[in-house]
Structure 1
Amino acid sequence: MHNSVRRVFVGVALSLSLQTPLISLVQAAPNEQFVPLATYRVGPYASSGIPWWAGTLDYLRYINEVEGGINGVKIAWQECETEWSTDRIVECYERYKNGKDGAPVAFFLTHSTPASYALMEKGAADKIPLIDPAGGRTESSDGRVFPYAFPLLLTYYGQASVGINYIAQREGGFDKLKGKKIVTVYHDSSYGRETQAAIELLANKYGFENIQIPVAHPGNEQSVQWRQVRQLQPDWVFLRTWGVSTPVAIKTAARFGFPVDRIIGDVWAGSEADVIPAGPAAKGYQALAPFPGGDSFEIHQRLREHILNKGKSDLKDLSYFGKVYYNIGLVNAAIVVEALRAGQAHFGHRPLNGEEGRWAFEHLNVDEQRLKQIGFSGLLQPLQVTCADHEGGGAARVQQWDGEKWVLVSDWIQADRETLQPLIEAKSAAYAQEKGITPRHCQAER
C-alpha cells in the first residue's frame, strides 16, 4: 500500500475510534461570537468530516490567536457529534440557537442538505441564517422568499449545469449532446435528488436522455445499480454520492466494466477520501471542484507557521493538510468570518445576532483584492451575495484523479443561470404560496 494511502487510512481509523462527542474548545463569553458546529467525525461520513472540520477549526484558531479575533471579537465554538444524522443536527441547532453563556449566534452551519430542509422553517422563525455552501435547497438561493437560507458558492442546480456544460465541452459542443445518454447515480436523499429538476430541464433543452438511478444510504452495496448502468451503456455518468458510497460506486463501476473517465462526480464526491479507498479503479475519475485541493496557497503558508508548526492543528494526521475536504473547511470558515466582518462594519465591532447575521451575509462581497489579503487567492472564487441572490459565485472547475493527486483539467465553468433562474423562481414562488410567504422587495431594502 502506498505510504500516503496508509496515512489516510490510519488517520481515519484513529479518528473513528473516538466514540464520545467532542467538547467545546473555546469557552463562550458575552463579548465573543458563538458558533455551534454540527460535526461528524464518526460514522459512515467521517472520512469527509474529519478533514473538513479540521480545516474549519484551524482557520478559526488562526483568526483568534494570530489576528486577535474579528476586530477584537473572539470566536467561541461548541461541537455536537451528529454522525451526519439529520435528527442530531436538528437537536444541535435547538440546543444552541439562542447562543451560549451570553454569546449570541449569528448563523448555523448545517453542512447537510437533509438538515437544511429540516431546519428551513425553524431558521426563518428563529431568524437564524442557515449556511450550507455548495449545498442546501436550491430555490433558497432566492433570498426574497428565503431570507434566512444561504446555499452559497454553487447550488445543486448550478452543479448540474456545470457538469452538463463540461460534458458538452468534451463532446464538441452543445449540439452534440442530442441523443446522448446521461445517467445520474445518486444518493437517495434530499441531497441526491436535488439536481433532478435541473437535469430534466437541461435534457429537454439539449435533447439528451436523462436516466436517474438511486443508491440507498449509506451505499455499501451497489451491484444492482451498476449492473443497470452496464445494461444501459450510457455515454456519461453523473455521480452524486457521498461518503462511503462514492468509492464503492467507483470500484463497482470498474467491476462492471464502465470506464471511470466517463464518470463525473459532483462537489461532494470529489475528495481524496472518495478516490484513495477505491485504489487503482479511481485513476481517471473526474469531479467538480469549486475549490481545489493543494497546500501551496498563501493561507496554507500562514497556517503552517502559526498553527501546524506550533502543534495547534485539529488534524491528527497531517497528511490531510491541503486535501480537498480540509480546504473546503478553510473556505467555509473564511466565508463566515468575512460575513461577520461585513456585519461588524455596519453594526459595530461586537458579536452579532441572527438578524444581524442575515444582513451580514447579504452584504458579503469578497473580491479578488480581498482574497489576496486573506490568503485565499486561487482557492476561493470571488463571491458577492445580495438580498435577492443567496448563491453568489456560481462556477466550478473540473479535476481528475491521476492515481496520486487531483489535477485540474478545465478552466472555470459557469453555470447557465439564464436557463436555471426561471426554474428556481418558479419553485421558490410555489414554496411561498404553500407557506403563505410574501416575498421581500430586495431592491428597496438595499
Structure 2
Amino acid sequence: MKKVFKPAVAAAAVSLAMLSQAAYSAEQFFPIPSYRVGAYGANGQAFYGGFIDYLNYVNMKDKGVNGVTLTWEECETEYNNAKGVECYERMKGKAAQSAGPIHTMSTGISYALIDKSAQDKLPLAMMGYGRTDAVDGSVFPYAFPLVTTYQMQASAIVKFVKDKLGGSLAGKKIVYLYHDSAYGKEAIVALNAEAGLNKFELVQIPVAHPGNEQGAQWLKIRQEKPDFVIFWGWGVMNQTALKAAQKVGFPRDKMIGSWWTGSEEDVIPAGEAAKGYMAATWNVAGKQVPVIADIEKVVYGAGKGNLQDKGKIGTILYNRGVSAAVLSVEAIRKAQDKFGKGKAMNGTQVAWGLENLDITDARLKALGATNLLPTIKTSCSNHEGSGKVKIQQWDGAKWVPVSDWIEGNKGLIHPLFEASAKQYAKEKGITPRDCSKEK
C-alpha cells in the first residue's frame, strides 16, 4: 500500500509547493521602517498613513499592479538610527525575492542603511531627505533621493528670496537656522555655494535636538537683523521657532522653511504665531487632488483606512506619503514592463524601475495626481529626477501656494553631488558604473 501512495503524496507535495510559490510571486512586499511614536511621531503618522492608504487603494481599486497584490509590514523605529537598522535587518529576509522601495523618512537611518541596502540589493528611497550625493546613480545604484534634494531645495529657496528682495542678494544677510543633525547639515554646502555666487552673508545657527529650547538662537537672530531666515527644522522644533520669532518680533513672512518644516503639524500648534510663515514643498496639500479624494471614498468608505485621525487626510504630510507611494508603485509598474507583467519584482528590478521613471503631466493626470508633485524623469546619472519645489504660505487656516514650481540651480548644485560621490567611491573602493551604457 505504501508504494501506491508515495507517488500521490509526492505529487501533492510538489503541487502545494508550486501553489505556494505562485501565491508568493503574486505579492509585492514593502518593508516599512516607520515611526508613529516619539518626538516626531505625529509626522510619521500622517506620512505613513498616506503611504499605506495608497497601497491599499491600488489593491482595492486596481487589484494590485497587473494582478500583483501589494503587501507590507511595519516596524517601529522611533526615528532612532539603531532601531532603524534593527528593523531593516528584521525585514530584509522577507524582501529578498520581492521588494518595494524602503522609505525610512529619516536622513540618519538612511545614512546607516545606504551601504547595507546596496550590499543586499534592496532599493532605498530617500524622497526629500537622506544622502543627497546619491543623485549620482553611477556610485549609488540602490539609493534614490527622489523628486528633489536638500541642496536643490535650498537653491530654489534662495532663488525665491532673491526675487522677493528685488532681484539681487548682494550685501544682504540670510540666517540659516537648522536642526543640528545630518539632516540640518545637508543644505550647508549648497547655501555656502549660493552665498559665494550671489554675494550675501550667510549666518549659520544650529539648534540641538529636539529643538524645544531656542531662546539663545532667537536673541542672536534679533541681533543679526537678517533680511530672511531659512529654517531647517523638524518636529517640535518648528512650532517652537515660530513662537520664538513672534516673541522677538521677527516677521514670519521673512521666514522660509524646508519641506519638513511646512506641515499642519508644525503651524497649527503655533497658533497666530504661524500666520504668514512660508515653507517649501514638493507636494501640495488638500483634497482637491483627485486621488486623495478617491482614497477617502474607496479606502475609508470601506472602513480600511490606516489613520485613526481622518482629519489628517489631505494634509501636507499625508499627501506626501501618498506621493511617495505613487512613485514606488510606478517604479514597480515600470519594472514589470521590462521584466514581466504580473510578476513580483525583486530589489534589483525595482531599482531599475526607480532609475527609469518618466512621470509626465499626462501620467500624473491619469493617476489623479495632477499638481500633487512635479513631473519626474530619472536616469542612471540622475536619481533625483526633478529638483523642483513650490513655496507655500500659511494663511492661518491652510497652506496656500505662492509660487509655481521653482527649480534650483542645477548647474551649481549637481557638480557638488558628483564631486562628493566621486570621493565616496574612492574611499569605498567602488568602481562607478558607466551610465552611458545603462538603459
Provide TM-score, normalisation by structure 1: 0.91
Q: Give the whole-Å Cα distance in 2 for the aligned partners of 1:356 and 1:47.
A: 33
**CA-CA distance at 1:151 after TM superposition:** 0.3
1:250 corresponds to 2:242: yes
Alignment partner of 1:49 is 2:41: no
Classify the secondary structure of the residue corresponding to 2:326.
helix
- Report the equivalent of 2:72: 77
Question: Cα offset for 1:316?
Answer: 1.4
- Which of 404, 410, 434 aligns to 2:427? It is 434
Distance 1:354 1:366 in 2: 21
Contact 2:374 2:405 in 1 (8 A): no
SS in 2 for 1:66: helix
**2:418 match: secondary structure:** helix
For residues 111 and 323 of structure 1, the distance between their equivalents in structure 2, rounded to whole angstroms, comes to: 17
Corresponding residue of 2:134: 140
Paired residue for 1:374, among 363, 367, 373? 367
Percent identity over the alignment is 46
Q: How far is the alpha carbon of 1:380 from its aligned partner?
A: 1.6
- Matches of 1:38 and 1:203, distance apart in 2: 37
Which residue identity lines up with residue 227 of structure 1 in the other structure? L
1:66 pairs, out of 36, 39, 61, with: 61
What is aligned with 1:153?
A: 147
Q: Does 1:126 align with 2:120?
A: yes
Q: How many residues align?
A: 416
User: What does 1:265-280 align with in structure 2 at a 5 Å threshold?
Assistant: 265-280=257-272
What secondary structure does 1:77 align onto? strand
Q: Indicate conservation of the 8 Å contact 1:106/1:355, yes or no.
A: no
2:353 is aligned, of 357, 360, 364, to 360
Who is 2:98 aligned against? 104
SS in 2 for 1:360: helix
Measure the CA separation in 2 of the matches of 1:185 and 1:369.
39
Shift of 1:363: 1.2
Contact 2:335-2:350 within 8 A present in 1 as well: yes
Offset of residue 314 of structure 1? 1.2
RMSD of aligned residue pairs (Cα, Å) = 1.2
Instruction: Please give the residue correspondences for 1:16-27 in structure 2 after superposition, counting only pairs within 5 Å.
Output: none
CA shift at 1:93, angstroms?
0.9
Q: Is contact 1:84–1:112 with CA below 8 Å preserved after alignment? A: yes
> Residues 136 and 418 of structure 2 are in contact (CA less than 8 Å); yes or no, is this contact kept in structure 1?
yes
Structure 2 equivalent of residue 228 of structure 1: 220
User: Structure 1 regions of 5+ residues with no counterpart?
Assistant: 1-27
Contact 1:135 1:155 survives alignment (8 Å): yes
Q: Are the counterparts in 1 of residues 375 and 386 from structure 2 also a CA contact under 8 Å?
A: yes
Structure 1 residues 194-227: Cα deviation after superposition (integer angstroms, max 9, x where no partner):
0001100110001001111111111111111111
What is aligned with 1:20? Answer: none
8 Å Cα contact 1:339-1:360 kept in structure 2: yes
- Counterpart of 2:392 in structure 1 is 399
Does the CA-based 8 Å contact 1:98-1:104 persist in structure 2? no
Equivalent residue for 1:187, pick from 175, 179, 189: 179
Deviation larger for 304-313 or 359-368: 304-313
Aligned to 2:19: none
The Cα offsets for residues 126-152 of structure 1, whole Å up to 9 and x where unpaired, read as 111110111111111011111111000
Q: Deviations over 1:20-68 (max 9, x none)?
A: xxxxxxxx94431110111111111012111111111111101111110
Give the conservation status (yes or no) of the 8 Å contact 1:286–1:399.
Answer: yes
Would you say the 8 A contact 2:156–2:408 is kept in 1? Answer: yes
Note closer, same or farther for the CA distance 1:106–1:306 as it changes in structure 2 (3 Å cut).
Answer: closer
Code of the residue aligned with 2:293 in structure 1: it is Q
Could you report, residue by residue, the CA deviation over 1:80-105 in whole angstroms, capped at 9, with x for unpaired residues?
Answer: 111111111111111111216x8522
The AA in structure 2 aligned to 1:201 is A
Secondary structure of 1:226's match?
helix
State the distance in 2 between where 1:114 and 1:437 align: 22
- Given the alignment of the two structures, is residue 422 of structure 1 paired with residue 415 of structure 2, yes or no? yes
Structure 1 or 2, whichever has the larger Rg, is 2
Kept in 2, the 8 Å contact 1:253–1:259? The answer is yes
- Cα offsets for 1:214-251 (capped at 9, x unmatched): 11111111111111111111111011001111111111
The aligned residue for residue 312 of structure 1 is 304
* Partner amino acid, structure 2, of 1:35: F
Alpha carbons 1:31, 1:103 under 8 Å: kept = no
Residue 106 of structure 1, CA deviation: 4.0
Paired residues of 2:289 and 2:372 also in contact (CA < 8 A): yes
1:184 and 1:219 map into 2 onto residues whose CA distance is 15
Preserved contact between residue 32 and residue 103 of structure 1 (Cα < 8 Å): no
Q: Distance in 2 between matches of 1:129 and 1:197?
A: 26
Instruction: Give matches, 1:295-310, under 5 Å.
Output: 295-310=287-302
Aligned-partner Cα distance in 2 for 1:237–1:391: 26
Match of 2:332 in 1: 340
Aligned equivalents of 1:320 and 1:435: distance in 2? 43
| 2:198 pairs with 1:203 | no
1:163 CA drift (Å)? 0.6
Aligned mates of 2:293, 2:78 — CA distance in 1:
31
Structure 2 distance, partners of 1:330, 1:324, is 10
Who is 1:11 aligned against?
none
Alpha-carbon contact 2:118-2:141 (below 8 Å) kept: yes
CA contact (8 A) 1:98 1:105 kept: no
Written as runs of structure 1 = structure 2, the 5 A alignment for 1:22-37 is 29-37=24-32
SS of aligned partner of 1:248 = helix
SS at match of 2:427: helix
SS in structure 1 opposite 2:133?
helix
Secondary structure of 1:322's aligned partner? coil
Match 1:115 to one of 105, 109, 113: 109
Secondary structure of the corresponding residue to residue 74 of structure 2: strand
**1:412 and 2:405 are equivalent in the alignment:** yes
